[in-house]
Amino acid sequence: MNAVSSELNVSVPPRRNRDRAPFVRADGTGFGPWPLQAHRFLSRYGISEHHIRADIVAEAMFLVRQDNHGHWPEPTDSRIVPAVDRVLNERLSGYPHCGAPDPRTATLRLRFVLQPTVGRQELLLRRGAFRQLCERDASGALVPCHPPPDQRMVMHRQTLTYFWQNAGRLVSRLLNAAVRTAQRGISGGGDAR
């Protein structure tokens, strides 16, 4: 809610003719330049039942109106889609502090539902019902493709050493020792004098 309202409070775009027209009706249908954007957005997540979509769009419209503070007479397409996304997140327990990793996860979880039936969609979209669905639905509807990769344990590369490297090191050590000895000999001779 904060994200939407702060976004709306930042600046007020100039009114245009198309904003004046009622865009989304209370039953979820609408007309305008992109009349079915919210419905298309929902169908892309597999939500096919009309009454469920209408319910979600109606709630989204309520949210937009609530955040609108009377700046516009009707909600616009650009605001209805994030609002629908937010409703979906809330219904899928993806809102902040609900235990889910992030809101995006909730929408992804919904995509795990394959061949969504009416009952399953209703169950899934009931507010906070996601965990119940995980426990109750034994039909294979939710399929994790792999366990969460929470912690990466690094496999270190092994090292290879070769005898010629050791020989090289030995030669360099001998040379260094010889140089040091020579230097000591020179300086030692000086001290002796």
Partner 1 sequence: MTRNSTSVARPPAPARRPAGPGVRRLRSLYLALLGITAVSGAFGAAEVFTTTDPVLKPLASGLAVLFTILFCWIGANFWIAAIGTVQFVRQSRLRTSAGPARADRRARTPRRQDLGGRGTAIVMPVHNEDPDRWSMALQAMLESLDADGALDDFDLYILSDTRDPNLWVREETAWLRLSRRPAFRNHVFYRRRTENVERKSGNLKDFLELWGHRYRYMIVLDSDSVLEGPSMLEMVRRMDANPNLGLLQVWPQVIGGRTVFGRLQQFSSWLYGRLTLTGMAALLGPHGNYWGHNAIIRIEAFMRHCGLPRLPGKGPLGGEIFSHDFVEAAFLVRGGWEVRIATDIGGSFEDSPPNLPQHLSRDRRWCQGNLQHAWIMVADNIHPVSRCNFLVGILAYVSGPLWCLFLLGSAIFFSADSGLFGSDFSALSIPAWLQERFPSANISNRLLLGATAVFLLAPKIMGLATCAIGQSVRLSRVAGAVVLETLISFLVAPCIMFRHSQYVLLLVLGRKSSWDAPQRDDAKLTWKEAFQALWDLELAGAIIVGLALAHPGPAALWALIVAPGLLLSVPAAVWTGRAKPDGNAAALRLFATPIIGGEGRGETLARTHHLRTTQAQASQRSPGTLDAALRDPVAANLHACILTSGPNAAAGHDAAVVDLAHRRAVREAPPPHAVAGVLSSPASFWHLHLEAVSDSRAGVGRRPRDGTS
Query: Can you give the binding site for partner 1, defined by CB under 8 A?
Result: 40, 44, 46, 101, 108, 111-115, 138, 140, 143-163, 166
CB nearer to partner 1: give 114 or 170. 114
CA-to-CA distance for 130 and 93, rounded, in angstroms? 6
CB nearer to partner 1: give 10 or 163. 163
In the complex, least distance from residue 102 CB atom to partner 1, rounded to whole angstroms: 9
Contact 54, 25 (CB under 8 A): no
In the complex, least distance from residue 164 CB atom to partner 1, rounded to whole angstroms: 9
Residue 106's closest CA among 124, 120, 82? 124
CB nearer to partner 1: give 12 or 145. 145
CB nearer to partner 1: give 114 or 182. 114
What single-letter DSSP state applies at residue 145?
S
What single-letter DSSP state applies at residue 184?
H
In the complex, least distance from residue 154 CB atom to partner 1, rounded to whole angstroms: 5
DSSP notation for 4-65: HHHHHHH--PPP-HHHHS--B-TTS-B-SSSTTHHHHHHHTTT---HHHHHHHHHHHHHHHH
In the complex, least distance from residue 158 CB atom to partner 1, rounded to whole angstroms: 5
CB nearer to partner 1: give 63 or 103. 103
In the complex, least distance from residue 105 CB atom to partner 1, rounded to whole angstroms: 9
CB nearer to partner 1: give 8 or 108. 108
CA-to-CA distance for 25 and 74, rounded, in angstroms? 10
The CA angle 105-110-116, to the nearest 5 degrees, is 175
In the complex, least distance from residue 62 CB atom to partner 1, rounded to whole angstroms: 27
